[in-house]
Structures are given as C-alpha cells and as structure tokens.
Chain A
Amino acid sequence: NAGVTQTPKFQVLKTGQSMTLQCAQDMNHEYMSWYRQDPGMGLRLIHYSVGAGITDQGEVPNGYNVSRSTTEDFPLRLLSAAPSQTSVYFCATGRGAKNSPLHFGNGTRLTVT
C-alpha cells in the first residue's frame, strides 16, 4: 500500500517546454488535488477533482491543465513552462466524504530556467 505516489521527485525544464507531473494513489480516494508550495506563500490549490471525470479550478489554475480519467491517477500538465512555475508541487488525496482530511505525496521539485 504505497499511499500517494508522485513522480518525478525532481525536474528541470527550459522555458516553453511541456511536461506532466504524475500522481497516483492506491487508497481508492475520490478526492484528488494539486498544490504548489512557494516560500512565504504556504500551499496554494491549483486544481482539484471530486471523482473520475470531474475537475475544477483552485486558487491558482492558470498555466496548468488536469484530467481525471481514472480514480487512481490525477496528472498535472504544464503546456508551456514559465520560470514563475518553479515551485514544489504536492498531490493530495482524500475520501469523498465532505469532512475527510487530505493525505499528501512527498512532492515534485520543479525548476524552470
């Protein structure tokens, strides 16, 4: 039982490149979400999903796309990376109940040069 698995752990991109950050969970959680963490800014919600086929925007969605074709996976896509997207990205999941807490992966550290 791996919990929440994020890959890769580290990534360096050039401006304009695209890439996908992967998030997989084996806990059958309905809720999945992506946050970015920047110094002094805490964790800011990018996109979230309450179930397969359903996604919605968080606080800072611009520059990112998501899809949720399966319960287990919630990839985050950067179509054209920008230096402002240099950050640590966390995937977090939870049961579908309204009051269930989030469980976090260990993060992906992304640098855009």
Chain B
Amino acid sequence: GQQLNQSPQSMFIQEGEDVSMNCTSSSIFNTWLWYKQDPGEGPVLLIALYKAGELTSNGRLTAQFGITRKDSFLNISASIPSDVGIYFCAGRLNRDDKIIFGKGTRLHILP
C-alpha cells in the first residue's frame, strides 16, 4: 500500500534549537498536513498545505509542500518545552479521498 516515510523517528534537542523533520513518499499528494499530538489526546492540526511549492508559517512553525508533490518538511524555530510531543505528517492522495499518516517524529527537549 501507499506509505509515508517520516524522519527522524525521534529527536533529542536543547531548548532554543531549531528542528527539522520531513516526509517522503513514492505517491503524489494533493494535500499535506502536519499534526502534533500530546499524550492522551488526539492529533491537532498545525499547518495545512494545498499547492506544490507552497511555504506556510504558523508562528515558529514553517512547512513546505514539495515541488514534486511527493514530500513535505516541517521546521520549528527556537524550540520551547511545550513543543515536546509527537509530530505527524499526513497526506491526501491525488487519486482518492484517503488521508494517510507517517509514523511520527517524537520530539524531546533537554533543559
């Protein structure tokens, strides 16, 4: 089946550092979504991307829809303790309505 390869699986960083994570696939997507999940809760939408090449920011977060439509990245600048959690990429396939998810990037912030 279709797969989204999300990397890295986990990250340990110092507070204040910048973070970068990405998702790639062999399939073409018409929408890329980035979510954050805190323990015991459902994922919450951070950024939605709808066009190839689109670069969108939400506060300290920036995400881009890859020009090939097969990849996307998320950057977090100047990380703070509340950024800890699991970040998921998700994509809507070009040919149908399904939205599939990457396996997540777990972000740990060292004091």
Contact = CB atoms under 8 A, between A and B. Distances in A.
A102 B98 CA distance: 11
Interface residues of A, number: 27
Contact of A104 (B30, B40, B42, B97): B42
A59 B90 contact: no
Most buried by A among B40, B92, B99: B99
Contacts of A59: 1, 100
A42 B6 contact: yes
Contacts of B6: 42
Interface stretch (A14-22, A44-52, A73-81): A44-52
Interface of B is mostly: strand
A25 interface: no
Interface string A46-64: 0010100000101100000
Interface residues of B, number: 25
Contacts of B99: 33, 45, 92, 94, 102
Given A48-B97, A90-B42, A90-B43, A102 B33 contact: yes
A48 B98 CA distance: 8
B50 A104 contact: no
Nearest to B9: A40
Given A98-B30, A99-B30, A101-B33, A43 B43 contact: yes
B108 to A, nearest CB: 16
Interface of B: 1, 6, 30-31, 33, 35, 40-45, 48, 50, 88, 90, 92, 97-104
Interface of A: 4, 31, 33, 35, 40-45, 48, 50, 56, 58-59, 90, 92, 94, 98-99, 101-107
